[in-house]
């Protein structure tokens, strides 16, 4: 009997997979990937078989048959800019995920793997609130060079899910509050949210604080020099900035738990780098506070790194003057994926259709 929704969440440092029966999360696995494990794949789409097999083997190991699935829902990736919601995975969407329309990222595999597994059973595949959700105000798009637009790419799925949870805890609706939510994962997004709308944020793939595996915003003149130094190919430079940047570049690991062990063992370099990441996150939160004119109901930290007391205490000390400070460790992404699919399966909402007529340059 078909009774489960399979949710698939490929992140830059992990693959998370969960089975839901109705609202209940009945089984979940979170698998971390080291940089060494991932570096053998030239492009992120090359990780398709590897990540898909992890999921299929996990189902098999837990005696779950594919004919028990109602539908499959994946995290959505760097598609064309689009409104939030639940989208049916279609061929035009798959094409854009494969080319990485707005860039490469593990989340592009979410819809692709969901569709591949759903097709084995002839059931529907969906994505929910993908990385490319765009609610920016026009002023946030201006970069300083007319050829380059600031883009809305970040952890919309978790930020919205956590925003709803925080609002419920304050006996309010998400749409009533102004929040500053920082998702601290393999990538980092710092989002000023006005009445439920993410009106700005750093592009987590290319800007803002450095992260476990990304370089974040860099001095542009020095980047230009590096590009023309002749030392690196374009692909090598891209890898340095996403995948092999941040903690990975300085310390050889994307795992903050490992970094904390290094610090405990007296490694001063590890402490300087880890503190610098926390410092940059606090600075980004401070800057984004101006976007909503300091009228903020709560500053919230979420994502895998928000499990770290060391990191959250460091940030708290610097930002708690802004608004009440809350920590929501981990993510609500698996729940949010299931809820998005359930709204459609129960007929409460029509799935959105992905349109690919907007043209932008990568």
Ligand X SMILES: CCCC(=O)OP(=O)(O)O
Ligand Y SMILES: Nc1ncnc2c1ncn2[C@@H]1O[C@H](COP(=O)(O)OP(=O)(O)O)[C@@H](O)[C@H]1O
**What is the contact surface with ligand Y in residues (CB under 6 A)?**
11-14, 185-187, 212, 254-257, 303-305, 307-308, 331
255 or 284, CB closer to ligand Y?
Answer: 255
Cβ-proximal residue to ligand Y, closest one: 304
129: left (phi over 0), alpha (psi -120 to 50) or beta: left
Contact 199, 193 (CB under 8 A): yes
From 71, 205, 254, 308, residue interacting with ligand X (rule: CB under 6 A): 205
Q: Residue 178 or 189: which CB sits closer to ligand X?
A: 189
Shortest separation between residue 8's beta carbon and ligand X, angstroms:
13
Q: CA-CA distance, 286 to 258, in Å (whole number)?
A: 28
Write out the E strands in 44-171. 69-75, 86-88, 125-128, 142-145, 148-149
Select the span of 42-50, 183-191, 246-254, 314-322 touching ligand X (CB under 6 A).
Answer: 183-191
Q: Please, which of residues 113-172 interact with ligand X by CB under 6 A?
A: 131, 153-155
209 interacts with, out of ligand X, ligand Y, none, CB within 5 to 8 A per kind = none
Which of 163, 187, 192, 351 contacts ligand X by CB under 6 A? Answer: 187
C-beta closer to ligand X: residue 182 or 298: 182
Closer to ligand X by CB, 156 or 179: give it. 156
Minimum CB separation of residue 186 from ligand Y in Å reads 3
15 vs 86, which CB is nearer to ligand X?
15
What is the Rg, in whole angstroms, of the alpha carbon atoms belonging to the chain?
A: 20
Q: Which of 183, 178, 176, 136 is nearest to 159 (CA)?
A: 183
Residue 289: which of ligand X, ligand Y, none does it interact with, CB under 5 to 8 A by kind? Answer: none
**Is 185 near ligand X (CB under 6 A)?**
yes
Q: Which is nearer to ligand X, 97 or 131 (CB)?
A: 131
Q: Closer CB to ligand X, residue 69 or residue 328?
A: 328
Site stretch for ligand X (CB under 6 A), options 83-91, 184-192, 258-266, 315-323: 184-192
Sequence-ordered list of residues with C-beta below 8 angstroms from that of 142, at least 6 positions apart, any chain:
149, 150
- Which one of ligand Y, ligand X, none is in contact with 331 (Cβ closer than 5 to 8 A by kind)? ligand Y
Query: Residue 206 binds what, of ligand Y, ligand X, none (CB under 5 to 8 Å, by partner type)?
Result: none
Residue 2, classed as helix, strand or coil, is: coil
Structure tokens at 165: 């949870």
Number of residues that bind ligand X (CB under 6 A): 13
Residue 169 and residue 161 in contact, taking contact as beta carbons nearer than 8 Å? no
Nearest to 54 by CA among 26, 27, 16, 21: 16
Give one DSSP letter per residue of 232-270, joined into a string. Answer: S-HHHHHHHHBTSSHHHHHHS-S-HHHHHHHHHTT-HHH
State which H helix or E strand residue 276 sits in: helix 268-289
Stretch that binds ligand X, among 43-51, 185-193, 274-282, 344-352 (CB under 6 A): 185-193
Between CA 156 and CA 87 the distance in angstroms is 14
Q: Which is nearer to ligand Y, 172 or 257 (CB)?
A: 257
Measured CA to CA, the distance from residue 125 to residue 31 in angstroms comes to: 22
323 near 180, Cβ under 8 Å? yes
Q: Residue numbers of the site for ligand X (CB under 6 A)?
A: 11-12, 105, 107, 131, 153-155, 185-187, 204-205
């Amino acid at each position: 009997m078909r009774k489960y929704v399979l949710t698939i969440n490929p992140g830059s440092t992990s693959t998370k997979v969960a089975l839901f029966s109705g609202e209940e999360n009945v089984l979940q696995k979170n698998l971390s990937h080291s940089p060494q494990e991932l570096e053998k794949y030239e492009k992120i789409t090359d990780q398709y078989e590897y990540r898909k097999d992890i999921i299929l083997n996990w189902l098999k190991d837990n005696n779950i048959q594919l004919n028990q699935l109602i539908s499959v829902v994946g995290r959505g990736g760097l598609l064309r800019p689009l409104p939030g919601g639940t989208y049916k995975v279609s061929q035009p969407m798959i094409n854009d995920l494969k080319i990485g329309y707005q860039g490469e990222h593990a989340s592009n595999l979410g819809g692709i793997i969901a569709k591949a597994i759903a097709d084995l059973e002839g059931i529907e595949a969906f994505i929910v609130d993908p990385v490319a959700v765009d609610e920016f105000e026009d002023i946030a798009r201006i970069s300083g060079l007319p050829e380059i637009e600031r883009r809305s790419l970040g952890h919309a799925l978790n930020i919205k899910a956590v925003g709803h949870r925080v609002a419920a805890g304050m006996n309010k609706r998400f749409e009533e509050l102004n929040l500053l939510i920082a998702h601290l994962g393999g990538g980092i997004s710092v989002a000023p949210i006005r009445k439920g709308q993410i009106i700005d944020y750093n592009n987590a793939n290319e800007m803002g604080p450095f992260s476990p595996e990304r370089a974040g915003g860099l001095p542009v003149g020095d980047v230009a020099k590096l590009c023309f130094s002749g030392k690196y190919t374009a692909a090598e430079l891209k890898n340095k900035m996403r995948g092999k940047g941040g903690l990975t570049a300085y310390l050889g690991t994307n795992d903050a738990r490992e970094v904390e062990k290094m610090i405990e063992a007296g490694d001063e370099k590890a402490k300087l780098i880890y503190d610098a990441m926390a410092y940059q996150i606090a600075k980004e939160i401070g800057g984004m506070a101006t976007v909503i004119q300091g009228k903020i109901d709560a500053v919230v930290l979420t994502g895998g790194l928000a499990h770290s007391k060391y990191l959250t205490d460091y940030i708290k000390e610097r930002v708690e003057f802004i608004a009440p400070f809350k920590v929501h460790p981990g993510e609500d992404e698996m729940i949010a994926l299931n809820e998005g699919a359930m709204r459609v399966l129960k007929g409460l909402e029509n799935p959105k259709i992905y349109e690919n007529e907007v043209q932008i340059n990568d």
